[in-house]
Structure 1
Amino acid sequence: MLILQPPLIDSLPTAGSPLKTLSNLPKSAIPLAIADIASRSNSLVLVLVEKSQDAQQLVNALHFYLGQEHHLDAEGEADGSVDLPIVHLPDWETLPYDSFSPHEDITSERLKALSQLSDLHRGLLILPIQTLAHRLPPREHLDGQRFVLTTGDTFDLHTERRRLEASGYHAVDTVHEHGEFAVRGAILDVFPMGSQQPLRIELFDTEIESLRAFDPDTQRTITKVDSVTLLPAREIPLTETGITTFRNHWHETFEGNPRDCSIYQDVSSGLAPPGVEYYAPLFFNHMATLFDYLPNDTQTVRIGALHQALEHFWGDVGTRYESLRHDRRKPILAPEKLFVRTEELFSELKPYGSIEIRDPDTQHPRLRPLPDVTFDAKADDPAAKIKRLMQSGQSVVFVAESAGRREALLELLAKHGVRPQPLEQFSDFKPESQPAVITLGLLDQGITVDGFSIVPESQLFGRRVPQRRRRKQHEIATDLIVRDLSEIEVGDPIVHLDHGVGHYQGLETIALGHDINEFVTVEYRDGAKLYIPVTNLGVLSRYAGGDPDAVSAHKLGTDRWSKAKQKAAEEIRDKAAELLDIYARRAAKQGYAHQIDETQYDRFADGFPFELTPDQETSIDAVLADLKAPRPMDRLVCGDVGFGKTEVAMRAAFASVSSGKQVCVLVPTTLLAQQHFESFRDRFADWPVTVDVLSRFKSPKETKAIIERSNQGKVDILVGTHKLLSSDLQLPKLGLLIIDEEHRFGVAQKERLKKYRADVDVLTLTATPIPRTLNLSMAGIRDLSVIATPPARRLSIKTFIKQKEDALLKEAILRELLRGGQVYYLHNEVKSIERSADDVRQLVPEARVIVAHGQMRERELEDVMTDFYHKKYNVLVCSTIIETGIDIPSANTILIERADQFGLAQLHQLRGRVGRSHHQAYAYLLTPDPRAMTPDALKRLEAIEAASDLGAGFQLATHDLEIRGAGELLGEDQSGNMQTIGFSLYMEMLDEAVTAIREGRTPDFDQTESAHAEVDLKIPALIPNDYLN
């Protein structure tokens, strides 16, 4: 372990000794100074910072300096060989007296941190100052509800199930999130709080036969474990004793009838209502503070203006208390019951040995900021600055964000004669014998110290690499999204291949001779029932294509179903012919086969500052293969908002430009055109590639000049709105057309796009494909790539449908502002948008509010968006102009007025403006009284509220099919035979038509009935009830 010699502080403070001060440290040196202090200390070191984001950055840097991330066991826990555990106690990220509970992941991390403290006598505990002010459950609560399970233990399933429920775990069908459990026969799945993965407990009678960690997405086991510690799922006890204590204290504390209070009623029923954490003192006879959890010899390090930060927090608490205290239906506790006052907190801190780090500076004699070492791609020797640093006698530690980035960095450095040795972790570094090494870590800023320099890749390339903390890999099985029989509930319409649409009535066990088999029961018109063996599930499909409530069942024994299929077959054959012909001709046509220089392409790919997700890699490989092929490409890349589709487009553009071709990037809005232009310009800055943009931001004179240069072949990549479809623009070397959000273009513009498809490579990017796009891609007419892997540590967006109320708006905006974030407030009527902004200013005086809409002057709009991006303002009252492209990671709350008036794809896009960081994001869909909304609007809102998972865009398009009635493949008429026979069967028949045309034959739908051969092995086919229950 690296320890600075001589130490920064001669001797560490002990209990009762005076406060010591470290000043003049560069900000980038603070994590190294804390690592050095902790390395020398034999006690627990408590590190206090001003804000939550400061704590997370410090944790990342300390993991680098102390090497923690590389000592993980199978469960992702730090193993016993780690000398200095790093424990992070996060803030709740809710408002004082909030009606929200903390996210499950935050609760999990907090409970894990508190439980570790009972055994932690050396290491680091990091938290923001306001978290220290929170009163906590007493230690005996956590210790009493923590239990250890080991292979071979006696385990009574009924008793343990009750114990899990009492500890706050809730029963589900399938375990995906922290705090869930599921029982299936002699198997118990549980996702323990504080664990990286859920656990599968397999029983033999009443004994634990095995414990296995499993993947929550695939449900497949990963590895065996010998024992596991189960922590309670909440910081409050919902046991019988806990509920009784709560009720008694409620009566002592509040006046009035408790039956009028939903919180009291819910807790009395054993439920945990949102925001119940702010009633925690009622569950205990006494509360604790973090000081009750700390060892007596704990040393503290204070960073920044903590007293001022805590006073500001108390100001917010007081304001919230005064505004909410008079609501008799939801009485609240006095602030002192929940939080420790500023003076009391600093008085409690006094006995501990303390170091204060203040007045960051660059004048420290030993620790200095890193000099400029950026690569200059345009210089004769791009690595000249880093070589100069190494020639000055400094050893250099290069820091890459991931293993993939390390390999790319090694390759790039080697080309310029710099060959660092790979190092497992920084704590193994020996400056005297290692002149250049490269290791992994999440480090914002480098530093020069004691004869060596630490160089993060962000400072090598002159831009910050966004922080990522790799958690579990969260992938969505793309082949499971489209056809999911498990979604069917009793009463839902269901399609039988040979008998038509009926209503699902559940499963039924029937004895046939000596065998017992399970059957799916489907009810048809006049109460007729059909029983389908579970072995024949292939003939059934979920009905999608119209309003399920309006679907009428077919009558068994009539020819109505076969006629419906025949009519659909004629429609598919006749009306789809034009479109299918385009794709058939495209497949047969000889297009341009791009010649890609692999060396040049690899250099360009190395400039991407993230590690590609598996889905991105697959999509890029598919696009490059299409570009190299002699037929024109027509590929749809479907990825949820912010999942990395733009990088796929950039690499395709580079491949085309490096083959001597021109590229057009077509986008639906001016703002998105500007953002894409800046992204492409920055990404291609080190290459001899000319990038330009055509949009409303350009004057007529500028537009004319750009068109002339483009027509002369002098512009390599042209980004623009529908102006790119102008007849004046005739690109001589057009090789690739990239279309972003095609469904946002009008019918006439789409017709103009059709002419390109037979001749030019076309790459379409979309977050929510509208039904028509989805239909074509599923039918195999267009090639489809799905990016379903979200960036690491991204949380799904909590979505609420609420009627508009001032109290709700104020709470939502304040919750975001208090954690340092930004808010979108969408008001889509330009004539009244300024009045709406004034309402927000009056409601939340501390907010810095600005307005943006499409009727503003171009330059003014650009200035507004730039100011919001740079956090000059923290609330943007806007129209739908923000729908596409504006990427602001610190904006994590969006409020949408009259959400009932938007389409599903549009709501999904708008919601996707938030949730681009690891903070919990919130989307409020504000509506009038439900009675004033159409049934379709209600269904749209319910669909988007339900599809809040990451990667939900693909699922939403299928919901859109049901709401819109699926529609025809050609023209804009949103009705058709698809409603009659259902989406799944329609797609199967369309697939047959496509296959026929590709093979040069005419589709034959005359033989609509399929022949089936069945082999009966006389084996019972059913899953026993006791296994399911």
Structure 2
Amino acid sequence: MFNSFVKNFDEILQSLPNQKETKLSDPELVNLALAKNVSDHTRLLCVFETSSKAESCFNEFKKYQSASLLPNVDLLLYPEFNSDQVEYDIDLERSRTLNQLLQNRGEPQVLICSVASLLCAVTPPGLLNSQSLILKLADEQYAPEKLCEIFTEMGFDNEAQVSLPGEFSLRGGILDVFSPDQKFPVRIDFFDDEIDSLRLFDVDSQKSIADAKSYQVSPVEKCGLEPRGILEYIKGFKLCVVEEESIDRHLERYQEKVQLSLWDEIKNSIELVSDIDIQADYNIKDFPVAALAPVYRSTLPEVERSIHQAHQKFLIDRVKSWINKSWSVHVFCGSEAGVERLNEVLELGNKKNLLLYPVSLHYGFIVPELKYAVLSEQELFGRPIEETKDVSYSSQLQKNLEYEPELNEGDFAVHANYGICRYLGIKVKNSQEFLLLEFADDRKLYLPLDSSHLLMRYIGGKKSVPKLARLGTGFWQKSLDKAENSARDYAAELLRLQAAREHSEGISFPKDNHWQSLFEESFPYEETPDQLSAIEEVKKDMERAKPMDRLLCGDVGFGKTEVAMRAAFKAVMSSHQVAIVVPTTVLAQQHFHSFSQRMSDFPIKIATLSRFISKKDQKQVLKEMAEGEVDIVVGTHRLLQKDINFQKLGLLVVDEEQRFGVESKEALKRMRVNVDILSMSATPIPRTLYLSMTGLRDFSTILTAPHNRKPVRTIVTKENDEIIEVAIRRELERGGQVYYLHNRVKTIENVALKLKRQFPEANILIGHGQMDEEELEMVMNEFTDGDGQILVCTTIIESGMDIRNANTMVIDRADRFGLSSLYQLRGRVGRDHRQAYCYLLMPRDEAIMDNAKERLSALRKHTHPGAGFKLAMRDLEIRGAGNMLGSQQSGHIAAVGFELYCQLLKKSVEDLKGSIHQDTSTSFSADFIHYGFQSIDNKIPVALTPQYIESDDVRLEMYKRFSTAVKYNEIISLEDELKDRFGNFTSEVKAYVVIHKIKSLCNLLEFHSCEIKESSLYLEGNDGLYCEARKIPKLKQKGYAALDEVEQGLRNIAKRFKVKLV
């Protein structure tokens, strides 16, 4: 259907009188012209002034046709300041795009780029192909060791585990490699020297996801770069230059840094035609450069722009009028659902002159003299067009909830049975691996790796050196008993409060009505699975008679606000009021605007209370709240003051609860009585997180990152004027905006003056909390609207600023901020598909505290979307647990460590709730096995050997996972993962896996002891099955085969008694 629109559009172009000559500068018109040429089987190169304009065009155009983007290389204009990783990532994306061009030669395609990106040196395709290696099934020319040598020569790093492009890892007969121009790494399985299988795998889970017949490995190192190398890739393309004069002005500023001669060569090799017919044949002169078409110039006259955010009824009536007057009307509805929705609204049936398309358009246009109209869903319904989010889960994000504090050699640790110790690493004794632990009086304990789950990193009540436990004194057991009693008392108190809330009479909101459905259908995104799950959980809570108390956690920009909006709408639909409490004025304004825009089509009155509002207006809002005329109120701590009265409050939404002070939290408690509460947080304080995970509070998570969201590149550096100038200059040159955070009001104007001298062309704004309310609001609105390029500010922007065009942040004296604040501040950038940067500045000559170094290091390490959970836990490790569970508990936390105390608390809660614990204490012994990787006293070795899993960290991780796995199907899953990642089992590894199968089967059959002695099997536990177990005859097999025989015997018992193997 879209092709018919492109043809229609082309006819419009031909019909227009040649009144005014205008270049294709409007994104929509450029996209349509590009689409037309692709439909004519054209290969097109479209060049823009900046990468931001190129990316905007690409994101729109790919909705109509497939296209490639030669990525942003603005950073490469300043190679002296590039970090290796940043430069490598950019090269990686460029390599993938250029490789795509080569693979699709001869097919219609569009390449979109900035002029700087086009003019960067690249490896010519012939040289690139000669340097690449193609692996195929049944290939016998490369032995594993030979391939490793080749990969090393190609610039790959040999790692224990492949997690990034440019890495390889050899484990026995399994070789993993991640080519820089491929989306996934490949796992090569050999049979002798023959490639037996090729499997793509996921770097997070390390599990195979698909088979492959071949895999191309390209070199990591850039070699043979040629300034004119790009000409070979764009042979046969036609050229479209957008805003040529702007490009020329842009390049004049960098004549020493870019290949201006190449740009002149491209332009001089084509004929410029002023009035070109898009359908006409091009008269291309035969130059030595690649055949490039003329610069497209259209003959579009000035068109009447549609009224942005016009009233829906007005435009709908106008559309109906145009249809009746035989206009040709084209409406872009965003999706198939949008097409259906608009058909229902228009009620016109099938009209030949009305065409609806299930794709998005930002702006339409009308040509009255030709009776031609193009409209977007945005103009009809007043909603912004947004990119659909990716609905796939990231296993890395899922793992955030399973975060374990890292345990490094020399760290303090806690052994669950023996107490506080110091971890001294992995040691080998009698061919068996142990964790060496140091206790008081220099006493050592060797802990088998299979029992490593008993060891955890020590996090005390405060950041101080703990005393090591004394072995054999009974002191640890007394401390443990006291902590367990404390945990039980604390759990009882928490459960009492929870029970009081459970039994109090709350509001039972009705099921969703028609208005709720309409409101949810108007959401311009496609909801992610976990977002839908959170919405469903919140609605179910609201429909129950007991008051809701739910914590919603999700990273910055993951869609928490939409969950709150749907909950608020549901409350309003049942004639209840909603209070939304936030910690800052800026966030209050942001939520007020977001809620107002989202609910603009519905008769809902929304107000705000903050210091941005005059005293007179505040009084009016208070009056309307008390009289029930206001449905939703968004406010700061002003909403918590004693003069606040609601006529019928039904829902309280608290955003970033951990940022409220003691008095505000007390006021929140008063508001909680019989009211549903939804708390939201991107970086939950660990107490909140732990209480949610121990079942004392309902907990929802949103873990799916938005589509195309890139991690914010985080650079920790000492103060350097030149680096900062380069960073800001780069952002301004790509059309973006910059936050410069200077958290000292006394000197903030000096910083702004200094930046003004460096960037005289930029509009530099100042924003801080001591400014007059009206002035601050004006500054924030100016920056939000894009009228300011640099905002010099304090932490007032920590929450609430949502500006997609601001993608560089500089934080002065970052060592003075807490980890949670730094994380929130960094979350202000990178909210679009564009690469964002955050510079954390440390003093040049002044020493900084170790804790500050650790915070900055943690922030640099945890950059992926969804890192808030890990950062919250890392913050706990750095600063200690303090009295986060209350002052009465802080002493016990210091005595046994935070993690163990929380385990005790969780167990106490489950005990008091009457939950049934899954017994994991099945003991196993056999008189013919030795837990080690060598045979001793004629006993067979049983272990995950260093030869099978070479990395100590990975091996320790697998030992922990096996020792904590309870269910039989969990062991089977781990067995499959081992084979997939490390190859076929050795006899030692197979025996280790089989023993864990036997223990899980015994667990399932309720046997707490399993012993093999003198070829006989002895089981203890389940009296009902004991007689059946005795029927297992004396074992016929010896050694490893005897273990298989026991497993099969237990499986037969389970089958006979119809016990499911789960």
| Cα displacement (A) at 1:890 | 1.0
Of 190, 199, 203, the match for 2:177: 190
Match of 1:1024 in 2: 945
Letter in 1 for 2:240: V
| Cα displacement (A) at 1:694 | 0.8
| Cα displacement (A) at 1:653 | 0.6
Matched, 1:464 2:450: no
Match of 1:100 in 2: 82
| Cα displacement (A) at 1:644 | 1.6
CA shift in 2, pair 1:1028/1:600, >3 Å: same
CA contact (8 A) 1:214 1:223 kept: yes
Residues 580-595 of structure 1 mapped to structure 2, 5 A cutoff: 580-595=495-510
Match of 2:33 in 1: 33
Letter in 2 for 1:1024: T
Match of 1:58 in 2: 57
- Provide the C-alpha distance between the structure 2 equivalents of 1:715 and 1:957, rounded to a whole number of angstroms: 37
- Provide the C-alpha distance between the structure 2 equivalents of 1:500 and 1:842, rounded to a whole number of angstroms: 60
| Cα displacement (A) at 1:29 | 2.8
Letter in 2 for 1:1014: S
- Provide the C-alpha distance between the structure 2 equivalents of 1:791 and 1:967, rounded to a whole number of angstroms: 35
- Provide the C-alpha distance between the structure 2 equivalents of 1:45 and 1:687, rounded to a whole number of angstroms: 45
- Provide the C-alpha distance between the structure 1 equivalents of 2:349 and 2:152, rounded to a whole number of angstroms: 57
| Cα displacement (A) at 1:854 | 0.7
SS for the counterpart of 1:209 is: strand
Letter in 2 for 1:478: Q
Residue deviations 1:466-514 (CA, integer Å, cap 9, x gap): 34585975454435534437x3333333322211222334445555xxx
Match of 2:240 in 1: 301
- Provide the C-alpha distance between the structure 2 equivalents of 1:473 and 1:986, rounded to a whole number of angstroms: 32
CA contact (8 A) 2:188 2:199 kept: yes
- Provide the C-alpha distance between the structure 2 equivalents of 1:975 and 1:929, rounded to a whole number of angstroms: 38
Of 475, 481, 487, the match for 1:566: 481
| Cα displacement (A) at 1:97 | 2.5
- Provide the C-alpha distance between the structure 1 equivalents of 2:830 and 2:33, rounded to a whole number of angstroms: 33
Match of 2:253 in 1: 315
| Cα displacement (A) at 1:179 | 3.2
Match of 1:258 in 2: none
CA shift in 2, pair 1:147/1:620, >3 Å: same
SS for the counterpart of 1:653 is: helix
CA contact (8 A) 1:852 1:865 kept: yes
- Provide the C-alpha distance between the structure 2 equivalents of 1:32 and 1:988, rounded to a whole number of angstroms: 61
Runs (5+) with no aligned partner, structure 1: 13-20, 69-85, 238-282, 319-334, 421-430, 1005-1009
Residue deviations 1:339-378 (CA, integer Å, cap 9, x gap): 6465344335563452323478445xxxx77866989566
CA contact (8 A) 1:645 1:765 kept: yes
Matched, 1:136 2:45: no
CA shift in 2, pair 1:348/1:988, >3 Å: same
SS for the counterpart of 2:580 is: strand
Deviates more, 1:124-133 or 1:638-647: 124-133
- Provide the C-alpha distance between the structure 2 equivalents of 1:174 and 1:547, rounded to a whole number of angstroms: 35
Residues 163-182 of structure 1 mapped to structure 2, 5 A cutoff: 163-182=150-169
CA shift in 2, pair 1:932/1:918, >3 Å: same
- Provide the C-alpha distance between the structure 1 equivalents of 2:8 and 2:583, rounded to a whole number of angstroms: 61
TM-score under structure 2 length normalisation? 0.78
Match of 1:260 in 2: none
Residues 380-459 of structure 1 mapped to structure 2, 5 A cutoff: 383-391=316-324, 399=332, 401=334, 406-407=336-337, 410-411=340-341, 413-414=343-344, 417=347, 436=355, 438-439=357-358, 441=359, 443-446=361-364, 455-459=375-379
- Provide the C-alpha distance between the structure 2 equivalents of 1:598 and 1:1021, rounded to a whole number of angstroms: 62
Residue deviations 1:565-596 (CA, integer Å, cap 9, x gap): 23323443456765543223112323211113
CA contact (8 A) 2:185 2:201 kept: yes
Residue deviations 1:511-566 (CA, integer Å, cap 9, x gap): 5xxxx765444333344333444443443333334678834432221222112223
Of 489, 492, 495, the match for 2:408: 489
Letter in 2 for 1:97: Y
Percent identity of equivalent pairs: 37
Letter in 1 for 2:857: E
Letter in 2 for 1:316: Y
SS for the counterpart of 1:861 is: helix
- Provide the C-alpha distance between the structure 2 equivalents of 1:471 and 1:96, rounded to a whole number of angstroms: 36
Letter in 2 for 1:608: F
- Provide the C-alpha distance between the structure 2 equivalents of 1:377 and 1:973, rounded to a whole number of angstroms: 60
Runs (5+) with no aligned partner, structure 2: 15-20, 272-286, 930-940, 951-1062
- Provide the C-alpha distance between the structure 2 equivalents of 1:27 and 1:900, rounded to a whole number of angstroms: 43
- Provide the C-alpha distance between the structure 1 equivalents of 2:649 and 2:741, rounded to a whole number of angstroms: 38
Deviates more, 1:447-456 or 1:530-539: 447-456
- Provide the C-alpha distance between the structure 2 equivalents of 1:878 and 1:504, rounded to a whole number of angstroms: 44
- Provide the C-alpha distance between the structure 1 equivalents of 2:720 and 2:549, rounded to a whole number of angstroms: 47
Residue deviations 1:897-941 (CA, integer Å, cap 9, x gap): 121211111111111111111122111111225863223222222
Deviates more, 1:193-202 or 1:97-106: 97-106
- Provide the C-alpha distance between the structure 2 equivalents of 1:384 and 1:472, rounded to a whole number of angstroms: 40
Match of 1:88 in 2: 69
Residues 522-671 of structure 1 mapped to structure 2, 5 A cutoff: 522-545=437-460, 550-574=465-489, 579-671=494-586
CA shift in 2, pair 1:183/1:369, >3 Å: farther
- Provide the C-alpha distance between the structure 2 equivalents of 1:198 and 1:454, rounded to a whole number of angstroms: 44
Residue deviations 1:232-261 (CA, integer Å, cap 9, x gap): 334x13xxxxxxxxxxxxxxxxxxxxxxxx
- Provide the C-alpha distance between the structure 2 equivalents of 1:557 and 1:135, rounded to a whole number of angstroms: 69
Match of 2:818 in 1: 903
SS for the counterpart of 1:316 is: coil
| Cα displacement (A) at 1:762 | 0.9
Residues 916-955 of structure 1 mapped to structure 2, 5 A cutoff: 916-929=831-844, 932-955=847-870
CA shift in 2, pair 1:971/1:1015, >3 Å: closer
- Provide the C-alpha distance between the structure 2 equivalents of 1:210 and 1:22, rounded to a whole number of angstroms: 57
Residue deviations 1:769-824 (CA, integer Å, cap 9, x gap): 12332232222211122222221111111222222121122112112111111111
CA shift in 2, pair 1:588/1:1021, >3 Å: farther
Of 73, 98, 119, the match for 1:114: 98
SS for the counterpart of 2:883 is: coil
- Provide the C-alpha distance between the structure 2 equivalents of 1:387 and 1:518, rounded to a whole number of angstroms: 79
Letter in 1 for 2:590: Q
Match of 1:278 in 2: none
- Provide the C-alpha distance between the structure 1 equivalents of 2:816 and 2:299, rounded to a whole number of angstroms: 51
Matched, 1:478 2:460: no
- Provide the C-alpha distance between the structure 1 equivalents of 2:143 and 2:803, rounded to a whole number of angstroms: 51
Deviates more, 1:636-645 or 1:754-763: 754-763
- Provide the C-alpha distance between the structure 1 equivalents of 2:557 and 2:8, rounded to a whole number of angstroms: 47
Letter in 2 for 1:496: H
CA contact (8 A) 1:27 1:361 kept: no
- In angstroms, what is the RMSD of aligned CA positions? 3.6
Letter in 2 for 1:143: N
CA contact (8 A) 1:743 1:770 kept: yes
- Provide the C-alpha distance between the structure 1 equivalents of 2:107 and 2:810, rounded to a whole number of angstroms: 45
Match of 2:423 in 1: 504
CA shift in 2, pair 1:389/1:537, >3 Å: farther
| Cα displacement (A) at 1:651 | 0.8
Letter in 1 for 2:56: Q
- Provide the C-alpha distance between the structure 1 equivalents of 2:242 and 2:639, rounded to a whole number of angstroms: 54
**For the pair shown, which has the larger CA radius of gyration, 1 or 2?**
2
Matched, 1:225 2:206: no
CA shift in 2, pair 1:891/1:451, >3 Å: same
CA contact (8 A) 2:582 2:636 kept: yes
CA contact (8 A) 1:104 1:178 kept: no
Match of 1:202 in 2: 189
- Provide the C-alpha distance between the structure 2 equivalents of 1:298 and 1:384, rounded to a whole number of angstroms: 44
